[in-house]
A and B are shown apart, each in its own frame.
Chain A
Amino acid sequence: MGISLTRAAQWTMVSSSTAKLASTPMNESLLKEILHFVERFSSQHPQEAEHVFEEPLQWNTTLVASDFKTDYDISDSDVQSHERDSEGHPLLQLSPPTVYVRSFSQLSKLLHLADDKKLVEVRACLEGKFESNLHPKQSNHQHSSITHRLNVFVLLVTLYNHPIIQVRLNPKAVKNEVEILQVFCGGGDKGLLKSLRYTSDFEFSNGYRAPLWRQVQGDICYLVIEPCDTETLYITCSTAGSFLNGGEENGYERTSDTYEDLVTLLKSRSPHFAEKINQVEVLIVCLIKKAEVALVYFRKTSAGALPGELFSESSTESEEEEEQPYRHPETNTDLPSEYWQIQKLVRYLKDGDQIVTVDTLCAMMDFNLMQESCQMAIQDTGGLKVLLNLLDTDEHKCKIGSLKILRTISHNSQIRRVIVDMRGVQSIVKILDSPVKELKALAAETIANVAKFRRARRNVRLYGGINKLVSLLDCLPNLASLTPSQEEDIEVACCGALALWSCSRSTKNKKAIRKAGGIPLLGRLLKSPLQKMLIPVVGTLQECASEESYRTDIQTLGMIKDLVRNLSSDNDELQMHCASAIFKCAEDKQTRDLVRKYKGLQPLVSLLHKAGNKQLLAAATGAIWKCSISQENVTKFQEYKALEILVNLLTDQPEEVLVNVVGALGEFAQIPANKAAIREFGGIKPLVKLLTSPNQALLVNVTKAVGACATNKDNMVIIDQLDGIRLVWSLLKNPSADVQSSAAWALCACIENAEDAGETARSLIGGFQLIVKLLSSTNNEVLASICAAICKIAKDEENLAILTDFGVVPSLAKLTNTTHDRLRHHLADAIAQCCMWGSNRASFGEAGAVAPLVRNLKSKEGSVQRSTAMALYQLSRNPNNCITMHEKEVVQPLIHMMGSDDEELQEAAAGCVRSIRLLYMANRNAELFTFRN
């Protein structure tokens, strides 16, 4: 926990001499925890709190002399405490603005005085300048010393929050205990123990390390402990407690009493241990020493000298070091024994001939290379460079050995970066051409690990790695009987696929894979029966399916069938990748049909039962969503009772699942029967609830689903009761255009189907202004949806009046010049509806809306023609508009439209022509009348 907390602390950029804690929620909580700890420290551990620091903590405080009370000597602005250390320094000294504090009790008193500025003080204390005249050469390493200071606090918090002496008899507890004790190992007489290790590095998934047949008897693990003062102890930790055993030869038989825990056992066996463990300050010292932090703060002056070199040399502050401020190259005597062994091996690697090199590499493989300390030891001793150099030699055995190590240690992100920095990718890519299959496979596997970050992936591509990796895929994956050589080919292809999977996370690499002809090869491998092959292959495909071209290829090369087949595999990961690939590909209608044809819909629905695996669930629901865009698929899904399951998934799911579930419901609800079904399964309430989510992708889908459900009257009653209209309306304020338009469409459905929608709408303060304001949006889809909404709202006369007051007419008129057909259609509808009020017809004419509308008549889109004709019919009731229309030669297209099959269009066109004709007649009559007179 200490380490994770330390890593969690987020620092802002380091200037030349000072560092600041970034102001993030994580840091805030960290600070609070430290504060809480310091405050409790003096009451819980009064003795320790009085320890005097060798160097004072010092920082610029916001406190002034007047804040201090009578316990202090106050002279002008300076303050000193009564308590002094052995040399006569006051334990607290304030000479504004700097404060010096020399013990924890003073620190907690000061924080108490600070009152509401406590956090500010803690922060300043951590950021405070670190003056150490003990190590002048370190003076330019402000950043690391500040990190150290933070570490000290964090470690102390951890230590005191988790007392180590407790009776706990499960694998986890034993592990914790061993880990804490291991921290105190080594360091000669100062440590608690010389060494402590497990007999087996292998840990079962249940946390046990004993062999299975011993686990039955309750044995958890075996330890070999070398105390400082007695002979080596062989210890069994079992669920009943800890006891000495007779070693491996004697079958771990019990040779001592059983103790409740390891510490008690050790206390009874090693007087040295018993003495040390009782000195809490020793624990602190050991902990701090191990963490390479500034011991000087906490060393009790009487505790005697401790091994020197407590500050490790800090090398250049590279990018990696900032990512992991906790680690420094180690030149300390406290390093684990592996470090020295590895250092020795690296020397042999450098100095040996090929035989010695191979032997040394084999010896190195025996270390636990997944362990960070070993990985770092290889890097710090220059071993990584030697390993990479070996790749450029001619000795294939050396290369194999080197790659075997590299593929394991490259699980460490820092090592990966160094490999790339040392141009290792180049060498590894070159090996892909080797005629030795084992080498190719190892190189590909290493690439798979290294290419976890962008720069590495780019390097693989630039050195031609993609082509080579693709050519590794060439094998015959599904022969009934295989020769050994063919089996090797398959192994190589597996590793190649793994590497491509890692690489395919970059867009350019996706294109390169396609260009290298990788897709057909992946398609062939997809027929393999091997899971270890299928997972990387499908993984790559689903990663690449974000590209349009891949989706087409996946469909045309017949991969959908294989993807569907593997949906029924028994491996969750494989199922997830398959579902995810279908999710991405099913945007295309043919793909959706193919999924149905190959009977992929049922397995998709059955994946919904694996509610425990959220990633799988997200992929499966995504695939269902996209597949349900085809109505035939929805019918199929209904047979498998998908709807009920989906509705149940509306609660307590992570957002990535919810987005897909709601998306699918939106598609399902396009069928009227399903609208009622969603209500019956109780889906309306959670849907409406989701309208308050902050996730935009989710909101788009939710509004769509709510809109689809709202077309059912009974649903609408529920939505209305839940205040759904207001929620949807308020989403118009969302900054995302997608959400705005989706919400506006939902609003149309709601208003159309709700009873007294007009009144509800009026009750929403500011709602109409918002609508009219959105008419100045630049997004056509938003505009179209808002026009549609206006059309529905304006059906209520009072609402129309209010809209008119807010200036809807000129806003609509401004839009008439658009060429976007969908917008033209809804705009014309809105104009037609708005003509119903007062002098709006004339206003539209004055705003110049008529002429563009006449032009829109020429659109080829039927819906646009129809709406426009109706709008013109409405507008033609104003004589001035008729004149404009006539001038713009409206009559001919209208007459043409009168011949249409659509009755409404016929009527609107005819009505419009009639208005023009009537005006002409009236005009002529008037003229005649005047003439006669």
Chain B
Amino acid sequence: MSKISAMNKRATQALAENISKQVEHFSKKEVECLIREFNVLMAEQNNSGRAVQGLDRGKFISTLHSIFGLTDDRMTGRVFRTFDKDNDSVVSMKEWIEGLSVFLRGTLDEKIKYCFSVYDLNGDNAISREEMLHMLKGRLIRQPNEEDPDEGIKDLVEIILKKMDYDHDGKLSFEDFEKAVKDEHLLLEAFGTCLPDFRVICNENLLSSLNFPIKNSQSYSLLFLFFQRIEMFEGHVFQEQFEQ
């Protein structure tokens, strides 16, 4: 048993080393943690005997929900599509780690790319009026005197388009989106929440700033604890937890 686990451990380490070279923002140790967490999630997943190479849609979305607090159904489905780069309906380990790298530590450019692909529903490299309307529908309380329930939203889409559509072609190209976001960062998530709440990232940053020593096998669950948004802004609170 111990031999197997030792072998497992070695394999994980090798894998982690390999992946950490390909994925930015994470150290080897951190990748190791994320692999372990991935394995735990895989184990929780009810595979009903089939051998699968990653997290399926349901498990992934519930993970987004529980760990990252992303609850908007319209968005979580798109996030899954975006994570799943090879379109095989599962998020593999590598896709998971690559996705998290943007999620937790992405630069602005990476996040712009990520958000754009989430919002580009049909993958035609542009966000059209209809796509915006779809994503924003129902986000505005309908006024009693309006006949068309989407009247306000339609108007808002026009306003947004006027603001962000720099080349005046009636849709948002990636360049439009990038330019608009760089101009005003608030527009990054203009059409729906698809990145974790800032506090999650805060905690994660705290972790690295404390030089968190990932030594033992429990460490991933501690990391996990952080992801689960336990309110710990204060360094010493975290230290106490760790010592326990």
Contact = CB atoms under 8 A, between A and B. Distances in A.
Interface of A: 344-345, 347-348, 351-356, 358-363, 365-366, 396-397, 400-401, 435-436
B159 interface: yes
Lowest 3 A-B CB distances belong to which pairs? A351-B141, A353-B139, A356-B139
B196 to A, nearest CB: 13
Interface stretch (B60-68, B89-97, B183-191, B221-229): B183-191
B156 to A, nearest CB: 6
B187 A362 contact: yes
Most buried by B among A356, A358, A363, A365: A356
Contact of B152 (A348, A365, A366, A401): A348
A843 to B, nearest CB: 85
A361 B189 CA distance: 13
Most buried by B among A348, A359, A435: A359
A351 B140 contact: yes
B10 interface: no
B155 interface: yes
Interface in B139-162: 139-141, 143, 152-153, 155-156, 159-160
A362 B191 CA distance: 13
Contact of B186 (A348, A352, A361, A366): A361
A342 to B, nearest CB: 12
Contacts, number: 63
A356 B233 contact: no
A362 B184 contact: yes
Contact of B198 (A347, A366, A436): A436
B101 interface: no
A356 B132 CA distance: 11
A351 B143 contact: yes
Contacts of B163: 362-363, 366
Contacts of B187: 358-359, 362
A397 B190 CA distance: 11
Contacts of B77: none
A355 B186 contact: no
Given A351-B141, A352-B140, A435-B202, A363 B159 contact: yes
Contacts of B199: 435
Contacts of B160: 359, 363
Interface of B: 136, 139-141, 143, 152-153, 155-156, 159-160, 163, 184, 186-187, 189-193, 198-199, 202, 233
Most buried by B among A345, A352, A362, A366: A362
A355 B202 contact: no
Given A359-B156, A435-B233, A400 B140 contact: no
Contacts of A361: 186
Contacts of A360: 156, 159
B140 A356 contact: yes
A896 B89 CA distance: 114
A435 B198 CA distance: 10
5 contacts: A348-B140, A352-B140, A359-B187, A365-B184, A397-B186
Contacts of B189: 355, 358, 397
A360 B187 CA distance: 10
A354 B160 CA distance: 15
Most buried by B among A347, A348, A361: A348
A355 B71 CA distance: 13
Given A356-B139, A362-B186, A436-B198, A351 B152 contact: yes
Nearest to B197: A396
A860 to B, nearest CB: 62
Contacts of A436: 198
Contacts of A366: 163
Contacts of A358: 186-187, 189-190
A355 B193 contact: yes
Given A351-B140, A352-B140, A353-B139, A359 B190 contact: yes
Contacts of B191: 355
Given A363-B163, A397-B189, A435-B233, A355 B184 contact: no
Contacts of B156: 348, 352, 356, 359-360, 363
Contacts of B198: 396, 436
B191 to A, nearest CB: 7
A353 B191 CA distance: 11
A352 B141 CA distance: 6
Nearest to B187: A362
A340 B227 CA distance: 45
Contacts of B153: 356
A821 B86 CA distance: 98
Given A362-B184, A401-B186, A436-B198, A355 B152 contact: no
A282 B153 CA distance: 41
A449 B48 CA distance: 63
A363 B163 CA distance: 7
Contacts of A365: 184
A361 B159 CA distance: 11
